[in-house]
Amino acid sequence: MDIARRTTSLLAILITLISFAQENKVEQNFEVEIGAEYRFFPDKGQFKNQKDHFPSLSIQPKYSVDWNKGKESITIVTFFRLDIDNPRTHWDIRELYYQKAKGKWEINIGLKKIYWGVTESNHLVDIINQTDAVESFDGEEKLGQPMVEFSLTTDNYGTFNFFYLPYHRERTFSGEKGRFRFPVVIDKDAIGYESDAEEWRQDIAFRWSHYFGAFDIGLSHFFGHGREPLFTFDNLGNVNAFYPVIHQTGIDLQVTHEAFLWKLESIYRNAEAQNFFALVAGLEYTFSNIDGNGLDIGLLGEYLYDQRDEFALNALQNDVFFGSRIAFNDTQDTSILIGGITDLESSSKIFSMEASRRFGSTWTAEIETRIFSNINQSEFILSNFKDDSFLRFSISKYF
Amino acid sequence: MKKIIVLIVVTFTMLANAQSPEVKGLEIAKAAEQADLGFNSSVVDLKMTLKNKNGQTSERSLTTKTLELTEDGDKSLIVFNSPKDVKGTSTLTFTHKVGSDDQWLFLPSIKRVKRISSNNKSGPFVGSEFAYEDLSSQEVEKYTYKFLEEKGDLLIVEQDPVDPKSGYARRVITYNKNKGYRIEKAEFYDRKNALLKTLTYSDYKLYKNKFWRASKFHMVNHQSNKETILNFSNYNFDSGLSDNDFTQAALQRAGK
């Protein structure tokens, strides 16, 4: 009762504070994105009960309000997807945070998304948010991470970001009907934690970033329950998965010279059960305005190394990625990204293509395909996905 | 005798004043820069209307913040407000008087800040008839000059881009010397020296009794018959922006 009364009065104070802060105009914004998606897997799933056709719907409402000349704001982004596969039917608070900026510093409190890194084929240093693994195969969709972030931008010494991460979010895996799964369906709640504090272990992270002329550099460190579960096997072949407590130090570097972008990302991860080093290095070169009408063709090449070898969750242990980004720079923002990853030690290859275009002013359409080709049976993770080549169509409407 | 002396004096004066067209052109560009000095910072909303050769239109809206710097080029922050699928996409540009500009792009869907190459000067800005170089901060050092002619208050100057990556062989700029050297018209000639585009500035307003800003830019591409119109509104010269509003943190805030 007392707590309830205190909470109410605290809320009242907060609302009063906000309304007093409204000496300037308050700006509110509300948008909704509704998406329809169809995924088709031409090959029959290699495990029982896996489906081939996945129609799906999603909705993402976003509300934001700012005041104090935009120096203070609250942002709320929620997400819901309805799908044939149970775990892929999920909802999430992508963002729900208060932000205040003053002079050189900024503070963020709540659920937020943070991106670190420079490379295209793999995102090694990016560790703050848990991957929304059922949402997309490329790992670029993230779950909102509870945090307090403090950032300081100095004149001559770069930007310092400090993160306090009080709660760990579990990775969701495909269910029985879903693709991209293992013979055994992994229940996210069955994955334990190394620390007794479990998801409430208080984690921290830090990043320093700066730029000097053509160089953009970031150094980061994370200490807490890792975002990737670690799979171990006992003598009887039983799988045991848990989130280990890790120290991860990362570097990201990009050199931007004329039409060249030279990129490097590297991490060293240290846990009781596992130490390893991983790296992505490559370049991007863009031939711009080739036809005088804005056609840009970018060429990408990256080398991927992961000391975990076949235990790397994304199976990119000693691979080369080639790709091309084609942007038409037309009024519909038509763009195509094609790429292929080939294993240097085995026959395994993954090809991908993503194309997108706007229709009218409030519709967009996307086509994506991934083809798993000659996947080597000895690939510990990837061999489970060998029949999961797919074609995806999606349309989105923005309100 | 007296007449002859006067004639000689007049001739000498004329000779002394007769600058080369190059020097005069440079002086006009410097005078135009001088006339616009001291605005410190500005914020403006911009509606962009793209028209194809069949007359079909599409629109974009953006907000541009500019910070004036004198020792080096200006800093700018551009945020897209529409179309809605690209809302929040933002760019941060540090213009340099000499050498290539530094530019970062913020992609709001994945919260990624990406340093991008400023190599692509001649490419179109978001599908419009404006090239990136048309919209970047106009620094005197980026061109060489040649004065062409004077028509009343109008001074016409040819400007040749220093950067070989420019899409133009030359531009011909019409300044209005009585109105703070504001630009009335610009003609762009492609690398083959054929007339490519004409940009007309109109609906000028005087801010702070010193700074002329056109409310409308109308670009016509003579080769493709496409057009782009920029409508500027809500010019604000009192926003008091500083370097802190042009950082990567500010870029992410702008696009959130």
- The answer to whether the Cα torsion of A372, A374, A378, A384 is positive or negative is positive
Q: Phi, psi at residue A137, to the nearest 5°?
A: -80, -25
> Is the CB of A115 less than 8 angstroms away from the CB of B117?
no
Average pLDDT score, chain A:
91
Tokens of A295: 């056609």
Backbone angles phi, psi at A226, to 5 degrees: -65, 160
Res. A6: pLDDT tops 70: no
pTM of the model: 0.90
Q: Out of A155, A254, A331, whose CB is closest to B50? A: A331
- The bridge status of strand A275-287 relative to strand B75-82 is unpaired
How far the first Cα of chain B sits from its last, in Å, is 80
Q: Say how far residue B220 (Cα) sits from the centre of its chain.
A: 16
Residue A249's nearest CA partner among A291, A216, A274, A221 is A221
What pLDDT is stored for residue B118 in this prediction? 87
Do A118 and B114 lie within an 8 Å CB cutoff? Answer: yes
Helices (H) and strands (E) in chain B, counts: 4, 13
Q: Which residues of B touch A293 (CB under 8 A)?
A: 124, 224
| pLDDT of amino acid A283 | 96
β-partners of residue A79 are A92
| Helices within chain B (DSSP H only) | 2-17, 21-35, 132-135, 248-254
Provide, as residue numbers in chain B, all residues whose Cβ is less than 8 Å from the Cβ of A99.
253, 256
Length of chain A as a residue count? 399
Ranking A89-103, A122-136, A177-191, B177-191 by mean pLDDT, the lowest is: A177-191
Smallest Cβ–Cβ distance between A294 and the set B82, B127, B250 belongs to B127
Phi, psi of A216 (to 5 degrees): -120, 125
Residue in A114, A115, A294 closest to B123 by CB: A294
CA dist A71 and A108 (Å) reads: 12
Q: Quick check: A3 pLDDT over 80?
A: no
Closest listed residue to residue B187, CA positions, set B202, B176, B200: B200
Interface of A with B in 328-347 (CB under 8 A): 329-333
Task: For residue B196, name the pLDDT band (cuts at 50, 70, 90).
Answer: very high
What gap in Å lies between CA B105 and CA B87, rounded to an integer?
13
**Amino acid symbol at B155:** L
Judge: A286–B119 Cβ closer than 8 Å, yes or no. yes
Both structure tokens of B160: 């040749």
- Closest CB to B110 among A101, A115, A399: A115
Residue A376 CA to residue A349 CA, distance in Å, equals 9
Whether the CB-CB separation of A288 and B119 falls below 8 Å is answered with yes
- Check CB contact under 8 Å for B244 and A103: yes
Looking at CA atoms only, how far is residue B116 from chain A in angstroms?
7
Can you give the pLDDT at residue A292?
A: 80
CB B216 within 8 A of CB B230: yes
Which residues are paired to A343 by β-bridges? A319
Distance between CA atoms of residues A298 and B117, nearest Å: 12
* Gap between the Cα atoms of A199 and A243, Å rounded: 9
Tell me whether A8 touches chain B (CB under 8 Å).
Answer: no
Please provide the average confidence, as pLDDT, over all residues in chain B: 90
The CA-based angle A379-A380-A383, given to 5 degrees, is 55
Alpha-carbon Rg for chain A in angstroms: 22
The CA distance from A263 to the nearest CA of chain B, in Å, is 11
pLDDT at B224 over 50: yes
Q: How are beta strands A239-243 and A192-193 bridged, if at all?
A: parallel
Which chain B residues touch A364 with a CB distance below 8 Å? 85
Inter-chain touch A333–B84, beta carbons under 8 Å: no
How many other CB atoms sit within 10 Å of the CB of residue B205? 11
Task: Give me the mean pLDDT over the A211-228 stretch.
Answer: 96
ipTM score here?
0.90
Q: Do A159 and B52 touch (CB under 8 A)?
A: no
Structural contact between residues A90 and A134, judged by C-beta atoms closer than 8 angstroms: yes
Chain mean position to CA A255? 23
Quick one: pLDDT at residue A7? 52
For residues A147 and A203, is the Cβ–Cβ distance under 8 A? no
Does pLDDT of A300 surpass 90? yes
Express each pLDDT in A83-138 by its tens digit. 999 999 999 999 999 999 999 999 999 999 999 999 999 999 999 999 999 998 88
CB contact under 8 Å between A331 and B124, yes or no, is no
With CB atoms and an 8 Å threshold, state whether A64 touches B86.
no
**Residues of chain B that touch chain A, judged by Cβ-Cβ distance less than 8 Å:** 50, 52, 58-59, 82-87, 100, 102, 110-117, 119-120, 122-124, 126-127, 167, 224, 243-244, 247-250, 253, 256
Q: Determine the Cα angle at B112 with ends B109 and B118, to 5°.
A: 115
Those residues with Cβ within 8 angstroms of residue A167's Cβ, 6 or more apart along the chain or in another chain: A146, A199, A200
pLDDT band at B9 (very low <50, low <70, confident <90, very high): low
Q: A361 CB near a chain B CB, below 8 Å?
A: yes
CA distance A49 to A101: 51
Does the distance separating the beta carbons of B256 and A329 come in below 8 Å?
no
Residues of B in contact with A113 (CB under 8 A): 110-111
**Among the partner residues A153, A260, A288, nearest to B247 by beta-carbon distance:** A153
**Per-residue model confidence (pLDDT) at position A1:** 45
Distance from CA of A110 to the nearest CA of B (A): 14
Q: Which two tokens stand for residue B149?
A: 């002619």
- Please give the residue that has the higher pLDDT: either A184 or B66: B66
Residues A64, B256: C-beta atoms closer than 8 Å? yes
Q: What is the pLDDT of residues A50-97, one digit of tens each?
A: 999 999 999 999 999 999 988 999 999 999 999 999 999 999 999 999
- Of residues A70 and A39, which shows the higher confidence score? A39
Q: What six digits make up the tokens of A64?
A: 């934001």
